[in-house]
A and B are shown apart, each in its own frame.
Chain A
Amino acid sequence: MELKDKLVSSFFAYEDGLDVQSPLHDICSDAIKKFDEKGFPTKKEEAWKYTSLNAILKQNYSLFPKAETGLEFKDVMRYFIHDIDSYKIAFVDGRYSSNLSATSHDGLDVCLMSSALSKPKYRAIIEKYFNKTANTEDSLTALNTAFLKEGAFINIPKGKIVDKPIQILHFSTGKEPAMMLQPRNLIVVGEHAQVQIIERHQSLTENPVLTNVVTEIFADKRSLVDYYKIQNDNPGASLIDNTYISQEKESHASVHTFSIGGHLTRNNLNFYHKDERVMSTLKGITIIGEKQHVDHHTLVNHACPNCESHQDYKGIYSDRSTGVFNGKIIVEKEAQKTNAFQQNNNILLDDKATINTKPQLEIFADDVKCSHGCTIGQLDEDAMFYLRSRGIPTKEAKALLMYAFANNVLESVKIPEVKARINKLIAKKLGVNLGFEL
């Protein structure tokens, strides 16, 4: 049976577990209808022209894996940023793992989507925010919504400056030959509140895993949200990340995406401005090789005056790897005095590696500053010679230049331990030990 049919038919079994009276039931059943109507995206769609899901959809994924309880913190510690104190919300094969987690209800909520959905005290917040910024027309988002079950729920009340970062980890054990996971995260950040979040999806074997995750983030007035996505999964794992961020007046939100591992990764990162003087930052470093594929589709919807957005994506591709960057900026008629910047720079290390990069600007206001630039090049020969003439071997010299190339993106990482970890992951990917951290 095709994966689509399997999903649609298993929805009915899954539906039995839902409360038909609850408004969520309608949301889920509308969503499965949407998915049934649209199906998985194909290369015929403009937005999926360079990313084909065909091969990964052929796997016989199990959709409702059995509970896995044997995992201990020491087995997976290395996937956490473990040298800092943090809140942790961890999932194993889609289910909450209390022994890997450190949640809280003390002055903020760092907990589970399932409890937010079921407990009456969260009903108002769920009604106000759940599925409100996610694009209900998008088939993959709809698919996730239909199977809504579990994920991280983070609720930061007004004025709260969260004292330590929050880590969200989704592990898959590979106990099933192939598995599909669809976590759903909801993050609500109140007025003046500040939070830093780290998200990672990690499979523990080479078995195929397909993750289709949706994260909704609401940044209220003057809030500050920094989000880090560490994408360094095993070669059998594919990830479709759908993130929707809605920003109120004078809020600042940033998302850094580090794409190093995994088989196929698609990031759909969407920012929506709801009021004036909002600032959005979207940055990424992609370093891939072999037959890896990473696709960044970004959208910044400038709908209000005096807002800013900054995008800076760097990509380094070797072997037969392929990259896509599509950066869409919409500046609506009302959004005067918009500043929107976009930069995408790429280095191709091999003839067989490819990158498709495309800015997509739709500007309807007249008083705006927009700039975009994309480059595709090789490592600079003169710089290579300079480093090598100082005794630095070719491989290390290349690595230094790649660091230098990606440096702008790392500079804005605010958690030093995250920065150090990314440095390590990059060094490992490049197979070098430079003897220092940048």
Chain B
Amino acid sequence: MLKINNLHAGVEGKEILKGINIEVNAGEVHAIMGPNGSGKSTLSSVIAGKEEFEVTDGNIVFAGEDLEELSAEERAHKGIFLSFQYPVEIPGVSVTNFMKTAINETRKAQGLEEMPASEMLKKIREKSELLEIDRKFLSRSLNEGFSGGEKKRNEIFQMAMLEPKLAILDETDSGLDIDALRIVSNGVNRLRSKDNAVVVITHYQRLLDYIVPDFVHVLLDGKIVKSGGAELAHELEEKGYDWIKQEKVSN
């Protein structure tokens, strides 16, 4: 589904991603772990099409298509979703209206009719129940005055509404208490199927107890330095990242 080949990317001449290779297949969950500043958010932004970053080498192929020429909105229309580490506040635009616009613009791009209002309402009800989101919350301005946890839960609500093929969750666990973590993980797990894939970015093991990954990759200074199964996350939790840094040096 997603194939990242030797990806180099940066901003204003500064290289941040230094040759990344990852392959994610339908039905899989991948975790990318790494210390602060290692390039995790940059990687997710580049996949989602943030123009600020320049790809200097390599490429990203999604569902058989090179993403290079595609804008952020076109990538979304093809089924890529990014849950933001720092969601943006949009005063005056309610969560519901925002979702309606996002869904209908996506449908328009896919050559579909607008979603009938009744179906939209039903879907909103269903997904907000899944994420235990109060109705009143949905008429509030998007992210404005939301707590850190509310913002993250709202991101997953959006994901549930948009039903993407590939969901990238950038530190969705930060700011969540244990109950919210359970609710959010439940929401993500409900989306999992043999047809879609999830990339979970985190620097804690905690979330991976709920969303169990098939593969774990360690990102250090813009490179994947180690990959393994779910057990690698536990190892990292115990030993920290220094262990890998040393291993890397001794290699």
Residues of chain A at the chain B interface (Cβ within 8 Å)? 380-383, 385-394, 396-397, 400-401, 403-404, 406-408, 410-411, 434-436, 438
| A–B Cβ pairs within 8 angstroms, 12 of them | A380-B88, A381-B52, A382-B88, A389-B75, A390-B158, A391-B106, A393-B105, A400-B93, A400-B101, A407-B141, A410-B92, A435-B100
| Closest chain B residue to A411, Cβ basis | B92
Decide if A388 touches B101 in the complex (CB within 8 Å). no
Assembly CA distance A336 to B84 (angstroms): 48
Among A388, A389, A436, find the residue whose CB has the most chain B CB atoms closer than 10 A: A389
Q: Across the interface, which residues of B come within 8 angstroms of A408, CB to CB?
A: 91
Assembly CA distance A385 to B103 (angstroms): 16
Among A385, A397, A401, A406, find the residue whose CB has the most chain B CB atoms closer than 10 A: A385
Closest approach, in angstroms, between the C-beta of A198 and any C-beta of chain B? 22
| Closest chain A residue to B78, Cβ basis | A391
Closest approach, in angstroms, between the C-beta of B112 and any C-beta of chain A? 12
Which residues 187-228 in B have Cβ within 8 Å of A in the complex?
none
Decide if A393 touches B73 in the complex (CB within 8 Å). yes
B76 part of interface (Cβ distance < 8 Å):
yes
Decide if B90 touches A389 in the complex (CB within 8 Å). no
Q: Across the interface, which residues of A come within 8 angstroms of B50, CB to CB?
A: 385, 389
Closest approach, in angstroms, between the C-beta of A365 and any C-beta of chain B? 34
B 13-33 to A, binary, CB cutoff 8 A, 1 in contact else 0? 000000000000000000000
Q: Across the interface, which residues of B come within 8 angstroms of A380, CB to CB?
A: 88
| Closest chain A residue to B76, Cβ basis | A391
Decide if B76 touches A386 in the complex (CB within 8 Å). no
B56 part of interface (Cβ distance < 8 Å):
no
Decide if B105 touches A407 in the complex (CB within 8 Å). no
Assembly CA distance A400 to B73 (angstroms): 15
Decide if B72 touches A389 in the complex (CB within 8 Å). yes
B 141-177 to A, binary, CB cutoff 8 A, 1 in contact else 0? 1000000000000000010001000000000000000
Among A389, A391, A406, find the residue whose CB has the most chain B CB atoms closer than 10 A: A391
Closest approach, in angstroms, between the C-beta of A377 and any C-beta of chain B? 15
Decide if A394 touches B73 in the complex (CB within 8 Å). yes
B 65-85 to A, binary, CB cutoff 8 A, 1 in contact else 0? 000000111011100011010
Give the B interface residue count (CB, 8 A): 36
Decide if B100 touches A436 in the complex (CB within 8 Å). yes
Q: Across the interface, which residues of A come within 8 angstroms of B75, CB to CB?
A: 389
Assembly CA distance A249 to B226 (angstroms): 74
Assembly CA distance A411 to B93 (angstroms): 12
Assuming the contacts A400-B90, A411-B92, A435-B114, asked whether A390 and B97 have C-beta atoms less than 8 A apart, the reply is: no
Q: Across the interface, which residues of A come within 8 angstroms of B34, CB to CB?
A: none
Assembly CA distance A388 to B101 (angstroms): 11
| Closest chain A residue to B109, Cβ basis | A391
Assembly CA distance A435 to B92 (angstroms): 15
Decide if A404 touches B92 in the complex (CB within 8 Å). yes
Assembly CA distance A380 to B86 (angstroms): 14
Decide if A434 touches B101 in the complex (CB within 8 Å). yes
Closest approach, in angstroms, between the C-beta of B195 and any C-beta of chain A? 19
Assembly CA distance A396 to B105 (angstroms): 9
Q: Which 5 pairs, one residue from A and one from B, show the smallest C-beta to C-beta distance? A: A407-B92, A391-B76, A391-B106, A388-B72, A390-B102
Decide if A436 touches B90 in the complex (CB within 8 Å). no
B229 part of interface (Cβ distance < 8 Å):
no
Q: Which of B73, B91, B97, B162 contacts A407 (CB 8 A)?
A: B91
Q: Across the interface, which residues of A come within 8 angstroms of B39, CB to CB?
A: none
| Closest chain A residue to B168, Cβ basis | A389
Assembly CA distance A163 to B91 (angstroms): 32
Assembly CA distance A392 to B48 (angstroms): 13
